[in-house]
Amino acid sequence: MNSVFRNVLAGSLCAGLATIAYLVAVTPPDSSPADAQTQTTIPLGWLGFCQNEPKDCVEKNTNLAPAHLSSKLISIINRTNRWVNTTIHPRSDQRQWGIEDLWSYPDNGEGDCEDYALLKRRMLLEEDFPPSSLLITIVRNRKGEGHAVLMVRTDRGDFVLDNLSDEMLPWSKTGYQFIKRQSENNPNIWVKLKNASDEEKIVTQ
């Protein structure tokens, strides 16, 4: 084997290993679907948001298939999640607006958890994600506080985009207690998740 061939072979091997390492790094593990149960109450914050942004509260989704989790889609999701987390500065509704809970786009560069989730949803819709795959979800964090995240439904399970993490996480690996989320059929219908309490009001922070 001459030196040129050995160098080419070595280079190809290194490139192959680098490609494998890259795919491992950017591809999240398979998740599981979040088990939705019965219909439940709609968060007051979502109702208020829809009064201000009616065009973003279309009543029925026609494409109910989960998004195909290709490498391109993973790149878009990660880029969107990190950009929003880096660009938007955290500020509570009480400090910003003087009220307990107001859902809105953080167009002024400040917001709390649901505002991050709403902006990620809007940006991914602009990337032609099906609306049925982008579901605002209410959880309780490790401190028992109300918190909002964006759940992304894919053909490899359901993942969470969180303003507290730059990683695209399988929903069951977040350590959160999942309470309710939007129905994939209709963003104005909310469903209780498996084993969740039926909470009339939960304030997100």
Which residues, at least 6 apart from 25, have a Cβ–Cβ distance to it below 8 Å? none
Q: Do 44 and 5 reside in the same domain of the chain?
A: no
Give me the mean pLDDT over the 142-146 stretch.
Answer: 90
| pLDDT tens digits, one per residue of 46-104 | 999 999 999 999 877 777 888 999 999 999 999 999 999 999 999 999 999 999 899 99
The CA distance from 190 to 182, in Å, is 4
Q: Which domain holds residue 151?
A: 31-193
The CA distance from 22 to 93, in Å, is 39
Burial of 55 (0-12, 13-18, 19+ CB in 10 A): exposed
Q: Do 14 and 65 reside in the same domain of the chain?
A: no
Q: Do 93 and 154 reside in the same domain of the chain?
A: yes
Instruction: For residue 198, tell me if it sits in a domain.
Output: no
Instruction: For residue 204, tell me if it sits in a domain.
Output: no
Q: How confident is the model at residue 6 (pLDDT cuts 50, 70, 90)?
A: very low
| pLDDT tens digits, one per residue of 105-137 | 999 999 999 999 999 999 999 999 999 999 999
Q: Are 146 and 202 in contact (CB under 8 A)?
A: yes
- Here the CATH number for the domain that contains residue 59 is 3.10.620.30
pLDDT (0 to 100) of residue 199 = 60
The CA distance from 149 to 144, in Å, is 15
Q: Do 80 and 114 reside in the same domain of the chain?
A: yes
Q: Do 115 and 179 reside in the same domain of the chain?
A: yes
Give me the mean pLDDT over the 181-203 stretch.
Answer: 80
Q: Do 11 and 95 reside in the same domain of the chain?
A: no
pLDDT (0 to 100) of residue 110 = 96
What domain count does the chain have?
A: 2
Instruction: For residue 121, tell me if it sits in a domain.
Output: yes
The values of phi and psi at residue 186, to 5°, are: -160, 120
Higher pLDDT, 2 or 82: 82
The values of phi and psi at residue 201, to 5°, are: -140, 130
Q: Do 55 and 10 reside in the same domain of the chain?
A: no
pLDDT (0 to 100) of residue 196 = 67
Q: Are 153 and 67 in contact (CB under 8 A)?
A: yes
The pLDDT of residue 7 is above 50: no
Angle between helices 113-126 and 71-87 (to 10 degrees): 140
Instruction: For residue 205, tell me if it sits in a domain.
Output: no
- b vs e for 17-40, b when ≥16 Cβ sit within 10 Å of the residue's Cβ? eeeeeeeeeeebeebeebebeeeb
pLDDT (0 to 100) of residue 51 = 96
Q: How confident is the model at residue 28 (pLDDT cuts 50, 70, 90)?
A: low
Write out the two tokens for 169.
Answer: 């996480």
Amino acid sitting at position 88: I
